[in-house]
Chain A
Amino acid sequence: MLSAVDLAAIWLTFKLASLTTATLMVVGTPIAWWLARTRSRIKALVGAVVALPLVLPPTVLGFYLLITLGPHGPVGHLTQSLGLGVLPFTFAGLVVASVFYSLPFVVQPLQQAFEAIGPRPLEVAATLRASPWDSFFTVIVPLAKPGFITAAILGFAHTVGEFGVVLMIGGNIPEKTRVVSVQIYDHVEAMEYAEAHVLAGGMLLFSFLVLLTLYSRKGTSVWK
Chain B
Amino acid sequence: MKIQGSYLLAGLMFAASGGSVQAAEVQVAVAANFTAPMQKIAAEFEKDTGHKALLAFGATGKFYAQIKNGAPFQVFLAADDQTPAKLETEGDTVPGSRFTYAIGTLVLWSAKPGYVDEQGAVLKKGQFKHLAIANPKTATYGTAAVAVLTKLGLLETIQPKLVTGENISQTYQFIMTGNAELGFVALSQVMLDDKLTGGSAWIVPTHLHEPIRQDAVILVKGKDQPAAKALIDYLKGKKATTIIQSYGYALP
Binding site for B on A (CB under 8 A): 66-67, 70-72, 85-86, 88-89, 167-169, 171-173, 185-186, 188-191
In the assembled complex, B163 has its CB within 8 A of some CB on chain A: yes
Please tell me if the beta carbons of A186 and B137 are within 8 angstroms of each other in the complex.
yes
* Chain B contacts for A72, CB-based, 8 A: 177-178
User: Are B65 and A85 in contact, CB atoms less than 8 angstroms apart?
Assistant: no
Given the complex of chains A and B, what is the CA–CA distance between A86 and B178 in angstroms?
A: 10
Q: How far is the CA of A214 from the CA of B71 in the complex (A)?
A: 38
- CB-contact partner of A189 in B65, B173, B174, B179, under 8 A: B65
- Cα A9 to Cα B118 in complex, Å, equals 38
Provide a sorted-by-A list of 21 A–B residue pairs whose CB atoms are within 8 angstroms.
A66-B173, A70-B179, A71-B178, A72-B177, A85-B129, A86-B179, A89-B179, A167-B166, A169-B179, A171-B130, A171-B163, A171-B165, A171-B174, A172-B163, A172-B165, A173-B163, A186-B135, A188-B65, A189-B65, A189-B138, A189-B166
- Stretch from B2-10, B56-64, B100-108, B203-211 at the A interface: B56-64
B139: nearest chain-A partner, CB-CB: A189
- Over the window 145-169 of chain B, the binary record of Cβ atoms lying under 8 Å from chain A Cβ atoms (1 yes, 0 no) is 0000000000000000011111000
Query: B62, B166, B173 — which one has the most chain A CB atoms within 10 A of its CB?
Result: B166
- Cβ of B130 and Cβ of A191 under 8 Å apart? no
Contact with B137, one of A67, A89, A167, A190 (Cβ below 8 angstroms): A190
Given contacts A171-B132, A172-B166, contact A88 B65 (CB under 8 A): no
Please state if B164 and A173 are interface contacts (CB–CB under 8 Å). Answer: yes
Whole-angstrom CA separation of A190 from B178 in the bound complex: 28
Minimum CB–CB distance for A51 against chain B, Å: 27
CA distance A169 to B65 in the complex (A): 25
| Apart from A86-B179, A89-B130: 18 A-B pairs, beta carbons within 8 A | A67-B177, A85-B129, A89-B179, A167-B166, A168-B170, A171-B130, A171-B164, A171-B165, A172-B164, A172-B165, A185-B166, A186-B135, A189-B61, A189-B138, A189-B166, A190-B61, A190-B137, A191-B64
Nearest Cβ distance between residue B148 and chain A, in whole angstroms?
19
**Identity of the chain B residue whose Cβ is nearest the Cβ of A173 in the assembled complex:** B163
User: Are B177 and A66 in contact, CB atoms less than 8 angstroms apart?
Assistant: yes
Top 10 closest pairs, chain A to chain B, by CB: A171-B163, A172-B164, A71-B178, A88-B179, A190-B137, A189-B138, A70-B179, A70-B177, A189-B61, A89-B163
A contact residues around B65 at 8 Å (CB): 188-189, 191
Question: Which of chain A's residues have a CB closer than 8 A to the CB of B165?
Answer: 171-172
Contact flag A71-B179 (CB < 8 Å), given A66-B173, A173-B162: yes
